[in-house]
């Protein structure tokens, strides 16, 4: 039985919790270490009640694709190469999501802007992880190593990871959870990146677990999330 499109986001998550299975879709473009960290927690039993349905990637040669194939997760390559022509890649992404009837779309280093039609299809059901404490060091140009270079250049003494909902602007959606770490004045961008990545790997799967256990709510525009 498919999802009722009239259901509100929180009702969908609660229904998935009652049914005992949260269907996940993933999107990635790079190495996929956050994707792998989630798969590892599923494999070791720490993250239960979830089902990875697919990985969409615009880069068929990336590490995330290899990780998905090794784990038996269906891979869908969608790019201007596979779907040349205006709007064709977007239409294919929509088709995959609709056919899979996922509950939550998890971005794990996907380097393309999410189409507005996808956001409209999954309101407050797309999440992303950013390697800094939003709203600082976010937005256009703040991705990957550029984030950590900006943190060091600003002389920040704290950084971390942020999991947030995805809306129509880069790194702008409602914050779900954050993990902060202290920095030294001697830290290089590479050292900051390594410290933050440890936190990303531990935080992201815990947020997915909170969704699976019905512990994420939105009240008056704010996210209430008990991440443990």
Query: pLDDT per residue over 159-175, tens digit each?
Result: 999 999 999 998 999 99
Question: 77, 83, 130, 148: which is the annotated catalytic residue?
Answer: 130
Spatial distance between the Cα atoms of 200 and 220, rounded to a whole number of angstroms: 27
What is the band of 227 on the pLDDT scale with cuts at 50, 70, 90? Answer: confident
- The pLDDT tens digits for 14-44 are 555 555 689 999 999 999 999 999 999 999 9
Number of domains forming the structure of the chain: 1
Which of 30-34, 74-78, 215-219 comes out lowest in average pLDDT?
215-219
Q: Which two tokens stand for residue 208?
A: 């997915």
Whether 3 maps to a domain, the answer reads: no
What is the number of helices (H) and of strands (E) in the chain? 7, 9
Whether 1 maps to a domain, the answer reads: no
Give mean pLDDT, residues 116-141.
Answer: 96
Question: What confidence score (pLDDT) does residue 15 get?
Answer: 55
**Between residues 4 and 142, the one the model is more confident about:** 142
Whether 131 maps to a domain, the answer reads: yes
User: By three-state DSSP, how is residue 46 classified?
Assistant: coil
Give mean pLDDT, residues 55-68.
Answer: 98
Whether 4 maps to a domain, the answer reads: no
In the residue annotation, 130 being an active-site residue is answered as: yes
Cα distances (angstroms) measured from residue 130 to each of 34, 83, 159: 11, 28, 11
pTM: 0.91
- Indicate if the pLDDT at residue 47 is higher than 90: yes
- Indicate if the pLDDT at residue 1 is higher than 50: no
Helix/strand/coil (H/E/C) assignment for every residue in 162-209: EEEECCCCCCCCCEEEEEEEECCCCCCHHHHHHHHHHHHHHHHHHHHH
- Angle subtended by helix axes 145-153 and 189-212, to nearest 10: 120
Whether 172 maps to a domain, the answer reads: yes
Domain range spanning residue 98? 9-225
- Indicate if the pLDDT at residue 7 is higher than 90: no
Whether 104 maps to a domain, the answer reads: yes
Where residue 88 falls (left for φ over 0; alpha for ψ -120 to 50; beta otherwise) is alpha
Buried b (16+ CB within 10 A) or exposed e, 136-162: bbbeeebeeeebbbbbbeeebeebbbb
**The CATH number of the domain where 152 resides is what?**
3.40.50.170
Is the distance from CB of 58 to CB of 112 less than 8 angstroms?
yes
Whether 145 maps to a domain, the answer reads: yes
Spatial distance between the Cα atoms of 110 and 93, rounded to a whole number of angstroms: 13
Rounded-to-10 torsion of CA 93, 97, 98, 99: 100
């Amino acid at each position: 039985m498919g999802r009722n499109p009239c259901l509100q986001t929180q009702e969908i998550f609660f229904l998935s919790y009652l049914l005992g299975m949260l269907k996940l879709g993933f999107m990635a473009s790079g190495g996929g270490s956050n994707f792998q960290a989630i798969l590892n927690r599923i494999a070791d039993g720490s993250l239960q009640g979830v089902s990875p349905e697919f990985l969409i990637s615009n880069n068929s040669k990336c590490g995330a694709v290899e990780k998905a194939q090794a784990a038996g997760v269906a891979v869908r390559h969608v790019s201007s190469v596979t779907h040349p022509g205006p709007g064709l890649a977007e239409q294919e992404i929509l088709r995959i999501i609709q056919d899979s009837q996922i509950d939550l779309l998890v971005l794990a280093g996907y380097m393309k802007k999410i189409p507005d039609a996808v956001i409209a299809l999954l309101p407050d059901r797309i999440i992303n992880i950013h390697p800094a404490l939003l709203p600082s060091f976010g937005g256009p140009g703040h991705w990957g190593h550029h984030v950590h270079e900006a943190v060091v250049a600003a002389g920040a003494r704290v950084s971390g990871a942020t999991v947030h909902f995805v809306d129509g602007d880069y790194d702008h959606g409602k914050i779900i959870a954050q993990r902060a770490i202290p920095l030294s004045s001697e830290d290089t961008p590479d050292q900051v990146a390594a410290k933050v990545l440890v936190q990303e790997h531990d935080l992201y799967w815990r947020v997915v677990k909170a969704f699976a256990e019905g512990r994420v709510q939105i009240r008056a525009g704010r996210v209430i999330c008990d991440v443990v």
